[in-house]
Amino acid sequence: MSDPGDHPVPLSTEPADAGPDDATIAWRLPSPLLLRVRRIEVAVVTVPLAIAGGVAGAVVSTGLAAGIAVAVVVAGALGERFLARRVAAWGYAERQDDLMVRRGVLIRHQSVIPYGRMQFIDVTAGPLERSQGLATLRMHTAAAASDARIPGLEQGVAAALRDQLTELGEAQAAGL
Amino acid sequence: MTAPLPDELPLRAASAASDQPWHRLHPLSPLVRAGRQLMSLVVLLAGLLVANHHRVGRDLVTDLVIIAIALAGGFVSWLVTRWQITDGVLRVDTGLIRRDSRRFPLSQIQAVDVVQTGLARVLGLAELRVRMAGGDAAHGGRLACLRRSDAEQLRRDLLALSVAGTAVAAVAAIPARAVGRAGPAVVVPERLLFRVNAARLPVAILLSRTGAVAIAVAAAAGLTIAVSGRTSTIAPFLPFVLGAMVNLWRQLNGQYGTTVAAAPDGLRLRSGLIQTTAETIRPGRIQAVRLAEPLIWRALGWCRLEVDVAGARQRREDQGEGQRLRAVIPVGSRAEAGQLLGELIGSQPLLPRLAPPLAARWKAPLAYHFLGWNRDDRYVVASRGRVCRQTTWVPLDKVQSIRWVQGPLQRRLGLATVHLDVAGKRVSAKIQDRSDAEAREILAGLPDLARAARSAAA
């Protein structure tokens, strides 16, 4: 959170500052529902923790109980702000010969993966993602370091992207 | 990478679709495979016998039973293991209760190793390992053991077949497998590129990180004895001392007598004191070359040259410190390294001449001096490292993905790092701490260069 002036941007538009080559690349963003998934995840952790902390604090005094509960909720809210920015930072761009993926707020990453280098592509969806109709696309190359993923794609989009990437990969496949 | 799914069960397919004969491993192989455990048992037994020769009775029986069971298991495993080469695929069937049938498409072989443990050398046997891309060592092909001459003949055949591709015609052209009745071995002319200096190696190992750890442990143990005046106080140190010694030994055993030779079917690496390994790396399968110059070695003008192949991950025990690569020069002078490097990358090696921007001084004050990169139309070279200077050469046509990374501090200073990932043991050339504009340019330009290099190589 190095720069407080940067408000979380709406997901449908371009974040202001996301690494090199902003102008020339048509970034596509994950579904806005991803933010909801992340919020639910934060809530799932925060609420029980706040209750448990409150109950534990109540043994000593009501004031402590309230203090702990409020602190946990505030931490959760801060986490939510951070996650919102992280969600906004995800993006991918299909270029002619490669796929670009960017992510990260504090440490920013931008990967270029040639279609021909993709060994296999996974579409996974956890229970939360599934409840929102989302899926995560994972691309694997022969290099262990370079596996890129795109979370929060609508399931239809993810499947279509997977098929398209597979097709492009087959067309441009290169040996090791 | 996966073999096409057979229409029928693998077993039935195996018996039906083979015109090539099936081969067995050498009958003595159970002995060799059990060798390591057997050896330690025998040592233990001998120790017990010497220590308390009155009360061995039951222990001896137990141990003998264990040995017998191990040997019987090995024998059954030998009985049910068979292999064959057919249609450009090496097939290895094994397992009594759980049948296991593996196929290794020869066209995708990355490297073929012939490994001989100490016992195997005494018996004249050798293990053949076929390395494929990805997966770990357990998924590679292992034929343990064959007669040594057979193993070498088979390696030649496999490499010849793998170069010839999967064409059935090529398979037929190779005379029926000579294994079992090895014909006159074809003498392959090899050109020696490097031989490690046998006197320098132990010194170098002692001066490396492993050696430093061993010396520290030994010193601590020695100090304890000196202070307390009794040898028994060393007991708590024993595991560490042993561990350090084993590490030292493993390095010495693995790297002793390393020779590198250029053979027609690839780069031949031989090494080993007790257990010897002969690896053959097919041409064009080297994913990265790394020159490492640790601090102390630098003062002596020594360096280490390593290559990375998209082979299986090393067994955990062999991994040593972090991601150790295959050292083609375990220790050598800069001149030797430069010469071999020229052979490996087939040209005058590119030097990382492009210096980082001044702002990188704040991010990496110590390493600043060593940061640099350069590229031509075939290679990218990048160097970095504080204590151990590392220079990595990556062929552009092997680049799997390109990553641009910027941390918070780098953002403040207007810097960014670009990684070039290759298939291998997590090696990447790291073009560290370049100016924003330059990193942008690299990220924009390298994918095209890599593509051009790929199509040029294809």
| Percentage above 70 pLDDT, chain B | 80
Tell whether A11 is covered by a domain.
no
Domain that holds residue A130: 90-172
Say if residues A112 and A98 touch (Cβ distance below 8 Å): yes
One DSSP character per residue, B6-72 reads PSS-HHHHHHHS--SPPB---TTHHHHHTHHHHHHHHHHHHHHHHH-TTS-HHHHHHHHHHHHHHHH
pLDDT above 60: residue B178: no
Please check whether residues A153 and A109 belong to one and the same domain.
Answer: yes
| A9: in domain | no
Task: Give residues 394 to 413 of B whose Cβ lies within 8 Å of A.
Answer: 397-398, 400-408, 411-412
pLDDT for the residue B135:
52
Residues B43 and B57 both lie in one domain: yes
From the list B285, B407, B421, the residue facing A143 with the nearest CB is B421
Give chain B's domain count: 4
* Residue of B108, B282, B401 to mutate, interface with A, max A Cβ within 10 Å: B401
Question: Which residues from A are below 8 Å from B397, CB to CB?
Answer: 174
Q: Which residue of chain B is at minimal alpha-carbon distance from A2?
A: B408
Q: Is B215 on the interface with A (CB under 8 A)?
A: no
Q: Quick check: B131 contacting A, CB < 8 Å?
A: no
Collect all residues of chain B within an 8 Å Cβ-Cβ radius of residue A141: 400-401, 421, 423
Query: Do A116 and A102 reside in the same domain of the chain?
Result: yes
| A148 shares a domain with A77 | no
At residue B65 the predicted structure's pLDDT band, cuts being 50, 70 and 90, is confident
Q: Which residues of A touch B443 (CB under 8 A)?
A: 20-21, 110, 112
Same domain for B291 and B434, yes or no, is yes
The average pLDDT across B37-52 equals 68
Same domain, B102 and B246: no
Selection from B332, B372, B315 nearest residue B115 by Cα:
B315
Percent of chain B with pLDDT over 90: 18
Neighbours of A155 (CB within 10 A): 16
Task: Tell me the HSE value of B384 on the side-chain side, using a 13 A CA sphere.
Answer: 18
User: Same domain, yes or no, for A115 and A138?
Assistant: yes
- Chain A residues close to B404, C-beta within 8 Å: 19-20, 108-112
Region B63-89: mean pLDDT is 82
Q: Could you please report the per-residue DSSP string of B387-404?
A: SSEEEEEEEGGGEEEEEE
pLDDT for A140 beyond 70:
yes
Residue B155 contacts A, CB cutoff 8 Å: no
Cα separation of A170 and A164, whole Å?
10
> Phi/psi of residue B87, each to 5°?
50, 40
Give the long-range contacts of residues A102-107, CB within 8 A, separation 24 or more: A102/A18, A102/A19, A102/A27, A105/A1, A106/A1, A106/A2, A106/B407, A106/B408, A107/B405, A107/B406, A107/B407, A107/B408
Check CB contact under 8 Å for B401 and A106.
no
At A141, which CATH number? Answer: 2.30.29
B199 inside 8 A of chain A by CB: no
Q: Please give the helix or strand (H or E) that residue B416 lies within, else none.
A: strand B415-422
- Tell me how many domains chain A contains: 2
CB contact B287 to A (< 8 Å): yes
Whether residue B259 lies inside any domain: the answer is: no
For residue range B87-128, what is the model confidence (pLDDT) as tens digits? 888 888 887 787 778 888 888 787 888 888 888 888 888 988
* Residue B177: pLDDT band with limits 50, 70, 90: very low
Full residue range of the structural domain in which residue B344 is found = 284-295+304-329+338-457
Residue-level pLDDT at B272: 87
Q: Closest approach of chain A CAs to the CA of B396, in angstroms? A: 12
Same domain, B248 and B322: no
Measured between CA atoms, the residue of chain A closest to residue B133 is A142
Looking at A63-67, A89-93, B15-19, B257-261, which range is the least confident one?
B15-19
Distance from CA of B13 to the nearest CA of A (A): 27
User: Within this chain, do residues A69 and A116 fall inside the same structural domain, yes or no?
Assistant: no
**A135 & A116 share domain:** yes
User: Which of A76-90, A93-107, B272-286, B331-345 is least confident?
Assistant: B272-286
Q: Find all residues with CB under 8 Å of B222, minimum gap 6, and list them.
A: none
B210 touches chain A (CB under 8 A): no
Q: How confident is the model at residue B57 (pLDDT cuts 50, 70, 90)?
A: low
pLDDT (mean) for A146-166: 89
Chain A residues bordering chain B (beta-carbon distance below 8 Å): 2, 19-21, 97-98, 106-114, 116-117, 119, 141-146, 148, 174-176
Q: Is residue A7 part of a domain?
A: no
The answer to whether B387 and B295 are in contact (CB under 8 A) is yes
Residue B191 lies in a domain: no
* One domain, residues B181 and B89: yes
* B99 touches A: beta carbon within 8 Å: no
Chain A residues with CB-CB distance to B1 below 8 A? 119
Helix A62-89 to helix A33-58 angle (10° resolution) is 160
Q: How far is CA B419 from CA A143, B204, B230, B433, in A?
A: 12, 30, 54, 11
Contact B104, B93 (CB under 8 A): no
B162 with B224, same domain? Answer: no
Reported confidence tier of residue A176, pLDDT bands at 50, 70, 90: low
Min Cα distance A85 → chain B (Å) is: 15
Tokens for A88, please give them.
Answer: 């906004």
The C-alpha of A53 sits at a distance from chain B's nearest C-alpha, in angstroms, of: 33
- B391 within some domain: yes
Q: Do residues B270 and B237 both lie within one domain?
A: no
Same structural domain for residues B42 and B131? no
Å between A151 CA and nearest CA of chain B: 18
**CB within 8 Å: B403 and A145:** yes
Mean pLDDT of chain A: 82
Residues A82 and A100 in one domain: no
Distance (Å) from the alpha carbon of A170 to chain B's nearest alpha carbon: 13
Is the link from the previous residue into B145 a cis peptide, with omega within 30 of 0? yes
Burial class (CB in 10 A: 0-12, 13-18, 19+), B141: buried
Minimum-distance CB partner of B401 among A2, A106, A112 = A112
More confident residue, B396 or B319: B396
Average pLDDT, chain B: 79
Residue A24 lies in a domain: no
Residues A111 and A52 occupy one common structural domain: no
B220 & B132 share domain: no
Q: Which residues of A touch B310 (CB under 8 A)?
A: 142, 176
Gyration radius of chain A over CA positions: 20
Mean pLDDT across the stretch B346-365? Answer: 86
Residues B122 and B7 in one domain: yes
Q: Please report which confidence band the pLDDT of residue B19 belongs to, taking 50, 70 and 90 as the band edges.
A: low
- Same domain, residue pair A48 and A108: no
pLDDT of B365 > 50? The answer is: yes
Residues of B within 8 A of A19 (CB-CB) are 404, 406
pLDDT band at B50 (very low <50, low <70, confident <90, very high): low
Compute the distance between CA of residue B82 and CA of residue B100 in angstroms, rounded to an integer: 11
On whether residue B4 sits in a domain, the answer given is yes
Residue by residue, what is the 3-state secondary structure of A105-166?
CCCEEEEEEEHHHEEEEEEECCHHHHHCCEEEEEEEECCHHHCEEEEEEEHHHHHHHHHHHH
| Per-residue pLDDT at B182 exceeds 50 | no
CB B354 within 8 A of CB B373: yes
Same domain, A78 and A99: no
Is A15 a domain residue?
A: no
Q: Are strands B286-293 and B276-281 parallel, antiparallel or unpaired?
A: unpaired
* Residue A114 maps to a domain: yes
From chain A, pick out residues whose CB is under 8 angstroms from the CB of B405.
107-110
B417 in contact with A, Cβ within 8 Å? no
Task: Give the confidence band of A9 by pLDDT, cuts at 50, 70, 90.
Answer: very low
Any chain A CB within 8 A of the CB of B163? no
Residue A10 has pLDDT above 60, yes or no: no
Q: Are residues A51 and A98 in the same domain?
A: no
CB pairs under 8 A between A and B: 100
Cβ B377 vs Cβ B350: under 8 Å: no
- Using a CB–CB cutoff of 8 Å, tell me whether B1 touches chain A: yes
Supply the pLDDT for residue A20: 54
Whether residues B164 and B222 fall in one domain? no
* Ranges A99-108, B7-16, B18-27, B380-389: which has the least confidence: B7-16
Alpha-carbon torsion angle B113, B117, B119, B123, nearest 10: 20
Provide the 10 A C-beta neighbour count for residue B99.
13
Is the domain of B319 the same as that of B448? yes
Q: Are residues A107 and A59 in the same domain?
A: no
Please check whether residue B200 touches A, CB under 8 A: no
What is the mean predicted confidence (pLDDT) over B381-398?
A: 90
User: Rounded mean pLDDT of A66-85?
Assistant: 90
Using a CB-CB cut-off of 8 Å, the residues of chain B touching A21 are 440, 443-444
At residue B326, does pLDDT exceed 90?
no
